[in-house]
Chains A and B, each alone.
Chain A
Amino acid sequence: MNDSPASADRWARGPRRRQSRISGVLLVEPLIEWTIALCGWSAILLVAAIFFFVFREAAPVLFGGLDLREFFTSPNWIPDSDVRPQYGILALLIGTISVTGLAMLMAVPLGLGAAVYLSEFCDSRVRETLKVVIELLAAIPSIVWGFIGYMMIGPVLIHLTGAAVGVNLLNGGIILALMSVPVIVSVGEDALKAVPDSYREAALALGASRWETVYRVLFPAAKNGLLAAVLLGVGRAIGETMAVLMATGHAVQIPTSLLDPIRTLTATVAAELGDVVAGGTHYRVLFVIGLVLFAISFAVNITADLAVKGVGGDRNG
């Protein structure tokens, strides 16, 4: 407020230097802003470009030649038949849905349980250790997961269940569950941490036990965030390719038991795209499958997004 003589003196000597600095800022500031904006927009641009490329490859059969009713309702995936190629993805779609569903049955209780433990029950030293380990779990490459399913879980399943083949729906489900747990834990823990401490204090003041606090207060308060955690886990599982290719057995059939080998949409694209004639019908149908996967993950992500924002008007989450 009261400029000392010294600072007045500095001001007096300042103008030229300040002038140049301001003009520098005038130049640099917009440049940085534009660069940052470009980074932001590039994400949107990339998604649009990827969608465009996939769509462009799929379009010729999508608008001519592909029987969409057969595509969605036939379980016969015989893309390179000499007799009559059939492009029915029903078995693949059911494969994707069943293995994802099974994985979520295992991963959601495990993931949310771990999130609750990390956020509410364990002391900070244990928490830091556990978080590092869980992050490490997320960093394991999917081919390693696939390898574990193929080489280790498979023979164990044959031994324990008497299954005819070890790479099957259950094997894929276990692997996918292990892969989605880290996502569910970290997002779920963030959601629980976001609940203000005043809620916990109020619950304790009313005489609630810790479990009652979690169950009656924290879960309802954090439900949007927890739902988002689950949906992100679902997205992780649906999009997974390498691990399910190796662990599910990759067999075109509608499963009738947990121990049947299955095949997913992603694995089909991965396994067959390398061998198809580029530009042929089979090639283009694989890109149509890409569009179906696009639609599925889009739906899951939008639902997760809406869950976070809270469709029901619940602001805490």
Chain B
Amino acid sequence: MVVCGKAAGVVLAHWKACALGLLVPVVGGLATFGAARHGPAVSTTREHAVIRVEGSDTMVNLAQAWAEIYNAEHRQVSVQVLGGGSGVGIASLIDGNCDLANSSRRINDDEAARVQAARGVRPVELVVGYDALAVFVHPSNPIETLTLDQLAAIYDWDGRLTQWSQLDNGHWRDGQDAIIRIGRQAGCGTYAYFRETVLGRGHDFKLGSVDQSGSKAVVTLVSRTPNAIGYSGMGYATSEVKTVRVVASSGTPRATPTSMRAGPTPTSTGAGVTPTSTRGGDDSHPITRPLLIYTAGEPVGPLRDFVEWIVSADGQAVVRELGYVPRGEHE
């Protein structure tokens, strides 16, 4: 039953929180009660090893691509990938139900302590690439560029921007220009990262935003709502929405956050940069976050081989291919 629930989570990766949410109250509750589900870190028989990867919704496509290529090249290893969300992956790492947790946010102190308590080793973090957050509006919206301050004024608790006409007169009819904020559910990596980067530490989102359970859902809803604005990983951009250029308030792109361990440095000094151009190696978008993997303790055996392959040129080529930014040269 647990397996079924998780499989559903993968199939419905975009609605993952919903699918899991339905099962977690019952299944998860029962599962944590009967605690005897701990398996070996990597289950290895003589000729076959299984590596269980679980976590971030943003990274699930990336992890699937890694798994497919790696499985094809290494017949003796089978990499299995599940979605579910960053928090779900880390929870699985704590419970010993996965070997590698994908996360689009940093593990918090509480979770790290729980890994230490449950597994006897500290979690080990590795940056495997970078994702830029893109801001979307409906194609009919005349807005081309937004500053980070304007974005904050739209989404922040105390934000004053509630009507599109405050930004751009002319296009909007009176009373029909309310800004519809589309966001993500509390606790997911994208939500936390947008809050930290755009609103700043110590700020909260204004309530009343239309919160979606997946990046794809955000894009879909923006494409169907003329007044909407939404954000998600740039990999989810489609031709049905307009990707807004985001610039720092002074007109130059904001540097990537200093909390990043190793990151691409902004090279452009021009106005805003539309994040779709990142594919070509231009990594100057102001809202960029690291994509992380966590293992319980230093990886060993087949798991170490897999992790090393991910950060190798082959693994990083996949990162680039899926529209993300490969990790920097200096790690």
Contact = CB atoms under 8 A, between A and B. Distances in A.
A273 B25 contact: yes
A166 B224 contact: yes
Interface stretch (B79-87, B273-281, B288-296, B303-311): B79-87
Nearest to B180: A165
Contacts of A242: 18, 22
B178 A164 contact: yes
Contact of A276 (B187, B207, B212): B187
Interface string B169-201: 000000010101000011110001001000001
Interface stretch (B28-36, B38-46, B61-69, B120-128): B28-36
A76 interface: yes
Interface residues of B, number: 55
A275 B188 contact: yes
Interface in A65-100: 75-83, 91
A80 B207 CA distance: 13
A263 to B, nearest CB: 8
Contacts of B21: 241, 269-274
Nearest to B187: A275
A251 B114 CA distance: 32
Interface stretch (A32-40, A154-162, A222-230, A304-312): A154-162
B187 A162 contact: no
17 contacts: A53-B30, A76-B207, A82-B202, A83-B202, A83-B204, A158-B226, A162-B176, A246-B15, A250-B211, A251-B211, A261-B208, A270-B17, A270-B21, A273-B17, A274-B24, A275-B188, A282-B187
A251 B210 contact: yes
Size band of the A side of the interface?
35 or more
B22 A271 contact: no
Nearest to B91: A278
A279 B180 CA distance: 34
Contacts of B207: 75-78, 91, 251-253
A63 B201 CA distance: 31
Given A53-B30, A274-B16, A275-B185, A252 B208 contact: yes
Given A272-B185, A282-B186, 8 more contacts: A83-B204, A164-B178, A165-B225, A246-B15, A271-B21, A273-B25, A274-B84, A275-B88
A70 B191 CA distance: 25
A165 B227 contact: yes
B213 interface: yes
Interface of B: 12, 15-18, 20-22, 24-26, 28-30, 32-33, 84-88, 91, 94, 108, 110-111, 114, 176, 178, 180, 185-188, 192, 195, 201-205, 207-213, 220-221, 224-228
Interface of A: 50, 53-54, 57, 75-83, 91, 143, 150-151, 154-155, 158, 162, 164-167, 241-242, 245-246, 249-253, 261, 263, 269-280, 282, 287, 290
A277 B87 contact: yes
Nearest to A88: B207
Query: Which interface residue of B114, B203, B224 has the most chain A CB atoms within 10 A?
Result: B224
Given A269-B25, A271-B17, A53 B33 contact: yes
B187 A53 contact: no
A122 to B, nearest CB: 37
Contact of A165 (B25, B85, B210): B210
Contact of A274 (B17, B209, B226): B17
A79 B85 contact: no
B171 to A, nearest CB: 15
A109 to B, nearest CB: 30
B29 A53 contact: yes
B18 A271 contact: yes
B221 A167 contact: yes
Contacts of B202: 82-83
Interface centre among B195, B203, B210, B227 (most CB of A within 10 A): B210
Contacts of B108: 277
Contact of B22 (A75, A167, A250, A270): A270
A279 B227 CA distance: 39
A62 to B, nearest CB: 16
A53 B31 CA distance: 11
A270 B18 contact: yes
B15 A143 contact: yes
B212 A251 contact: no
B20 to A, nearest CB: 4
B208 A80 contact: no
A150 B33 CA distance: 37
Contacts of A82: 195, 201-204
Most buried by B among A263, A271, A272: A271
B33 to A, nearest CB: 7
